[in-house]
Structure 1
Amino acid sequence: MKYNSRLPLPVLAVALVLLVSLAIPASSCTEQEKTSLLQFLAGLSQDSIAKSWQEDSIDCCKWEGVTCNENKTVVGVSLPFRGLERRIAPSLGNLTGLQHLNLSYNSLSGGLPLELVSSRSMVVLDVSFNQLSGDLHELSYSTSVQWPLQVLNISSNLFTGQFTSTTWKGMQNLIALNASNNSLTGQIPSHFCNISPSFALLELSYNKISGSIPSWIGNCSMLRVLKADHNNLSGTLPDELFNATSLERLSFSSNGLQGILDREHIVKLSNLAILELGENEFTGKIPDSIGQLRRLQELHLARNNMYGELPSTLSNCTDLIMINLRNNSFTGELVKINFSNLENLKTLYLAWNNFNGTIPESIYSCIKLTALRLSYNNLHGQLSNGIGNLKSLSFLSLTYNNLIDITGALHVLNGSKNLSTLLIGLNFMNETMPDEDNIDGFENLHFLAIEECQLSGTIPLWISKLANLEVLFLNGNQLSGPIPTWIYTLNYLLYLDLPNNNFTGEIPKELMNMPMLTSDKTAANLDPRIFELTVYEGPSDQYCTCIAFPKALYLNGNKITGEIPVEIGQLKALQSLDVSHNNLKGPIPQSISNLTNLQVLDLSNNNLTGEIPAALDNLSFLSALNISNNNLEGPIPTGGQFSTFPNSSFDGNPRLCGRVINKNCGLAEADPAVGPAVSVVYTDKSWDNKVIAVVAFIVFVGVGVIYDHMVLSRYFGG
């Protein structure tokens, strides 16, 4: 049987226990059991189950979430997602027949009663996704009695401490332990397999566990799942680890592990379905022996220091669904891999390496492929017509290669009807943006990036057909002419990025009617398939969906003239506005004060005149402001956020004054056109430059305009 990552072992174990142990509900329960349940209820805040339990005060077997067997004994209490708060009463431990307790996905706090862990009947205990706390030592119990507990899930809580030999002394029957997403310390426990010979699953991800991987794991003959990613582990993979030949999932991503994948050791894990070693410090090549792992479904080696050519034997792993080798130093031509053997492949992620040559035709035989990312390599040539075979493709990133013929590329891509994300910037250098009526077929496109290509021409009319478009990057080209008025007809467009082109004319007033920017109540037309891989990479991989992007309008670095339209005040959902480095004139419209969601405002390096509207101090969310290098005059507002902005936000406006820049507005400063005048300048040491605002501006604007770089998991999948 193949390992199914969508149905992990804890779920299988719970289901099996429930099927075996829980019978058809009986008609009543004992008085002692009813009392224990009511004591449990009394310890909680009032919630949805209280009414249900009180309506039938006699028969607790009919209470919501309570299951009894044919002997009128309570054998199950299942109350997930009920909004339960406060503490778990130890009285549940008095239910002598209770085999299954599920209190997951609530807001329970306090400790986990030892009476539940050491129950003489409990088989499955699930308290995951709560706010339970306490040290693991509190669960220690000195006894020679064997507890029947088989599945324990305490994940996603606030538990601390470390595993000791006494913590789980009585758990000789334990099969699965999930303690991930807590604050556990110490080392990976070294006694589970010795205590429980049937132990099969250990999940410790997202904790603070350190030290090396213990060699005892090799003695775990039944261990199927071992996950300890996102911890502080160091050292190498011990040779003994590969003696655990029943392993189906091995996950040590995001640690400090190093070493190489030994060709002789890796083949021992013949049952391995998922190998996750990404974000470590592994070096060396992928061994040829990887091809002997015929059950391998997912291979994650991203963000390591691995190098060399990919072994051709990788195509022998015909069950592969995902390959993620991003951010390494792999080289060679991809044509050496026969991808046509990988008919189950859905995600291929080879970005940020040094692959060269052309995109292999065999990739286009992977008809189940939904996400293909080959960006930041040295691939060249034209896109083949074969890419049209990928009918399921929804995510395609080819950014930063040496591809040519953008017109041909768009024509062959329009056959991928499910394409939602298309990232092809930093290719097609100095070509012309195609403006042909027969470019269509992108009706499901939500994200389009054709940036930094130095393309000439205008914004093409075919983009107006992209009815579902939400994010558009065309920055860093040589596009010219006026910004087309039809852009406002793109009903879902929330992020328009047009910097560093040669656009002329005025800012179209029609843009002030963009539906996604005029109302913060308008929701994005999100499709869950859009971002199967993150669009922007960075420490947090935060931009996984369009909704993570600020609603933004970037027109900076062009040759736009005229005034900022007064109608700009209609864009009430706008969070970031940058029209800097243009030839704009006239006043700053007071209507900008209506943009109460605005966080970044850059009007610098224009020819704006007049005073700064005092009403702008109502922009309480404004964290970055730059109006430098204009011809503004008069006092700088002192309320709201203005006192937090550095002097550099106002530089290059000699007629501005105010406490913010330590310039008294009582007397006029010299006007070069008129002659010298007396000015009084005072200093106030309490008004130092606020560097925080500068940092916020750089980070926020930088992330917003630089696509597919190392500043912009959990992606979909295991």
Structure 2
Amino acid sequence: MQTLHFSNKTYSKILHIPSLGLALVLLICLASPTSSCTEQEKGSLLQFLGGLSQDGGLAASWQNGSDCCQWEGITCSTDGIVTDVLLASRSLQGHITPSLGNLTGLLRLNLSNNLLSGGLPQELVSSSSILIVDVSFNRLGGDLHKLSPTHARPLKVLNISSNLFTGQFPSSTWQGMKNLVAFNASNNSFTGQLPTHFCASSPSLAVLELCYNQFRGSIPPELGSCYMLRVLKVGHNNLSGTLPDELFNATLLEYVSFPGNRLEGKLQGSHIVKLSNLGTLHLGENNISGEIPESIGHLKRLEELHLNNNLMYGELPSSLINCTNLISIDFKNNNFSGELAKVNFSNLPNLKSLDLMHNSFSGQIPESIYSCSNLTALRLSSNKFDGQLSEKIGNLKSLSFLSLANNSLTNITRALHILRSSKNLTTLLIGLNFVNETMPDDDSIAGFENLQVFSVERCGLFGQMPRWISKLENLQILMLSDNQLTGSIPAWIKTLSNLFYLDISNNSLTGGVPKALMDMPMLKSDNSEAHLDPRVFELPVYIGPSRQYRVPIAFRNVLDLSNNKFTGEFPLEIGQLKSLLSLNFSFNHLTGQIPQSICNLTNLQLLDLSSNNLTGGIPGALNRLNFLSAFNISNNGLEGPIPSGGQFNTFQNSSFIGNPKLCGSTLTHKCYSDSIPPSPRKKRDMKAIFAIAFGVFFGGIAILLLLVRLLISIQKKGFMAKHRRGSNEDVEATSFYSSSEET
């Protein structure tokens, strides 16, 4: 049995909607197959098959001489009329032919999750029989057709989401859709302003999803006349202005979502109380300001409240505790302040996720939060909380994600002893606290059996890398950067068989680069993809001002030992770390040459060896690292030519500066072909060539002189004969030849 989906998520909370429920019932009420079908309908189906360039194996079932009611994906009524064409997720390629519109009894068409291209045939939307059309998750494109509103079509559900449709919604398209209950056009490229005629044309409309498009302008007040509307999702567009007062007249609304726009204004308490059925309110990533109104407590059915990334301020209203069905609260990146203790979280027993990151809450963390026994994700980072962690946090038996970073908490030893009882903890981020304390090296710190991500960064902690970390058998990401840790990297590091991300930069670690690092199983693996538990990122992890990691694959395989005091040469075994994507040994005291084995790290995207004491040449085979996008060997003692070709043609001069003996076409110091003096061997070769040329030249002159001498001798005899006759003219000739002979 196959069903249609309105989007890539399942919204179980809307399945009880009466009008939409009728449409969904139609999806699964499949009639019993019969034993015959008409030749006309068989021909229409074969025309559709003929329009496919890849049929997903349908041709084996769709034979011309057989009954089409027995074909795969086809269901007929008892009188042999085709009622269902259900071919989702079959890898179909090609076009949707208009012939499907000739199936006069067709009720349900599902071609979702394929690779179909071209347009959506007008015959399907204007059919006199079809109730449900789902062509989501394909490559269909172009504009929607303008339909003639001659009569009301029976179409109830239209899902064209996740395609390549463009243009605007023509009003005439909807005037004939009097029976439309659910419409999903999310994740396309529709433009223009939001249509104002939805509800006037389709008074039964219950679900309207237009997320991830390019709509602009304000929210039309006419949406308030959609009196049957239950789900309104128009997030991630370019909408501006305020929430119109009229919108709150649609009092049946259960799901209101406008994130990722440019909406502004304040939440009006007198309006919000009208939406007594509201289960989800998502207004994050806008420019909404003001305080949360006290009347929020009247929304007794509220389960999800997202006001993140806005300009809101003030204290949280104590009436929030009246929303006892709340499951998720997201207020991060605002200007909320005050003591959080004024909200008694113990009245929110269903709360699973609480995100208050980047606000200005102060005081101690209220112990009432620890009464929310179903809490799985808690983030209080980047606030002004102080004091020590309460032992009652151990009551959160389901807690998987905990971030307390960037506050003013104290006593790290106590905190770790308390948190070890949280058996389900997979992510623990407690950096930027415990300033200048000592890293506890207490073997009694056990537990953390499921911990996969552990960050204690930027605390200025003294001490060494503690042995108890070696007990974290499931650890995959370890961040200890920006502390004052000393000593060497312990040999037990290689026992962390799942570790693929190690950042111990900006410390005072000493000694050589241990061979134990070269034996880390996950870095030696041929697979460079992370395999973290899905619970690890129940909330997005932010690293830097513009990046966030929500999925495990976003974390690269990293080895960062930069800005320490490591000495000695690179271990030749570094070429074993084949899954590495980022290798940073900059700002240390490493010596020797860049090992040729680094060229085996073919997945490498970042290589930084700058500010060391490396010598020798750059291995030419590094130009085979086709994924290398960041490369820095500046401020060393390297010499010789810079390799050419591959990624090396893209690196800036700054990657090589501070190496006076390096040469290359991009540097002021050119290689031999331009101006660099030849090597000693080349000088010896040049001297030999010059000597040969010199010998040949002067040997020729000697022969020439012998010929001249012979010629002079002959002419002397002639001259003597003439002399006897007293020729004055020949006396001058004698002077010339005499001087020539001397020469």
TM-score, normalisation: structure 2: 0.87
C-alpha distance in 2, partners of 1:417/1:169?
A: 58
2:115 paired with 1:107:
yes
- What is the deviation of 1:7? 5.3
What displacement does 1:12 show?
Answer: 4.6
Task: Tell me the SS of whatever aligns to 2:192.
Answer: coil
d(CA) in 2 for partners of 1:537, 1:248: 34
- Of 450, 453, 462, the residue aligned with 1:447 is 453
Retained in 2: the 8 A contact 1:638–1:659? no
Moved more, 651-660 or 569-578: 651-660
- Aligned residue in 2 for 1:175: 181
Mapped pair 1:87 → 2:95: yes
* Equivalent residues in 2 for 1:448-597, closer than 5 Å: 448-521=454-527, 524-536=530-542, 542-597=548-603
Q: Which of residues 17, 40, 45 is equivalent to 2:26?
A: 17
Residue 308 of structure 1, CA deviation: 0.2
Equivalent-residue separation in structure 1 for 2:538 and 2:172 (angstroms): 43
How far apart are the structure 1 equivalents of 2:642 and 2:544?
A: 37
Distance 1:535 1:149 in 2: 43
Q: Which residue of 2 aligns with 1:71?
A: 79
Counterparts in 2 of 1:122 and 1:7: CA distance versus 1, 3 Å:
farther
In 1, Cα distance between equivalents of 2:248 and 2:460: 52
**In 2, distance between residues paired with 1:585 and 1:522?**
29
Write the letter of the residue equivalent to 2:367: E
Equivalent residue for 1:349, pick from 346, 355, 360? 355
| Pair 1:323-2:332 in alignment | no
Q: Which residue of 2 aligns with 1:607?
A: 613
> Which structure shows the bigger proportion of residues in helix conformation?
2
CA–CA distance in structure 2, aligned partners of residues 656 and 624 of structure 1: 19
- Structure 1 residue 13, shift from structure 2 partner: 5.3
Alpha-carbon shift at residue 18 of structure 1 (Å): 2.5
Indicate if the aligned counterparts of 1:638 and 1:660 stay in contact, CA closer than 8 A.
Answer: no
Please state if 1:284 is matched with 2:293: no
TM-score normalized by the length of structure 1: 0.90
Secondary structure at 2:329 match in 1: strand
The match for 1:407 among 413, 418, 425 is 413
Distance 1:175 1:645 in 2: 56
For structure 2, which runs of at least 5 residues remain unmatched after alignment? Answer: 1-8, 679-743
Shift of 1:506: 0.6
The reply on whether 1:161 has 2:170 as its aligned counterpart is: no
| CA-to-aligned-CA distance 1:271-307 (integer Å, 9 cap, x gap) | 0000010000000000000000000000010000000
Q: CA RMSD in A?
A: 1.8
Match of 1:392 in 2: 398
1:336-390 Cα distance to aligned partner (Å, 9 max, x none): 1111111111110000000001111111111111110111000011111111111
Q: How does 1:142-161 map to 2 (within 5 A)?
A: 142-161=148-167
Task: Name the SS for the 1:396 alignment partner.
Answer: strand
Structure 1's unaligned 5+ residue stretches are 671-718
**Distance in 1, Cα, partners of 2:54 & 2:597:** 48
Q: Distance in 1 between matches of 2:517 and 2:98?
A: 62
Higher mean C-alpha deviation, range 298-307 or range 543-552:
543-552
Letter matched to residue 39 of structure 1: Q
Contact 1:468 1:525 in 2 (8 A): no
Structure 1 position 143, deviation (Å): 2.9
**Secondary structure at the residue paired with 2:52?**
coil
Q: Percent identity?
A: 63
Amino acid at match of 2:122: L
Answer yes or no: is the 8 Å Cα contact 1:126–1:153 preserved in 2. yes
In structure 2, distance between residues paired with 1:487 and 1:603:
22
Q: Are the aligned partners of 2:382 and 2:407 in contact in 1 as well (CA < 8 Å)?
A: yes
Q: What is the match of residue 214 of structure 2?
A: 208
SS of 1:148 mapped into structure 2: coil
Matched, 1:96 2:96: no
Q: Secondary structure at the match of 2:341?
A: helix
Residue 391 of structure 2 is aligned to residue 379 of structure 1: no
User: What's the CA shift for 1:669?
Assistant: 8.3
Q: Does 1:660 align with 2:669?
A: no
Partner residue, 1:710: none
State the match for 2:628 in structure 1.
Answer: 622
Q: CA contact under 8 A between 1:13 and 1:151: conserved in structure 2? A: no
1:352-367 pair list within 5 angstroms = 352-367=358-373
* 1:253 paired to 2:262: no
Aligned to 1:50: 58
TM superposition shift of 1:165 = 2.0
Q: Which stretch shows the higher mean deviation, 577-586 or 513-522?
A: 513-522
Alpha-carbon offset, residue 537 of structure 1: 5.6
Provide the secondary structure at the position in 1 that maps to 2:622: helix
Partner in structure 2 of residue 26 of structure 1: 34
The residue matched to 2:615 in structure 1 has which SS?
Answer: strand
For 1:8 and 1:592, the matched residues in 2 are separated by 55
CA distance in 2, matches of 1:599, 1:411: 38
1:195 match: 201
Find the counterpart in structure 1 of residue 130 from structure 2: 122
CA distance in 1, matches of 2:607, 2:531: 26
**Partner amino acid for 1:16?**
V
Match of 2:227 in 1: 221
Partners of 1:414 and 1:439 within 8 A in 2: yes
Measured after TM superposition, the shift of residue 115 of structure 1 is 0.5
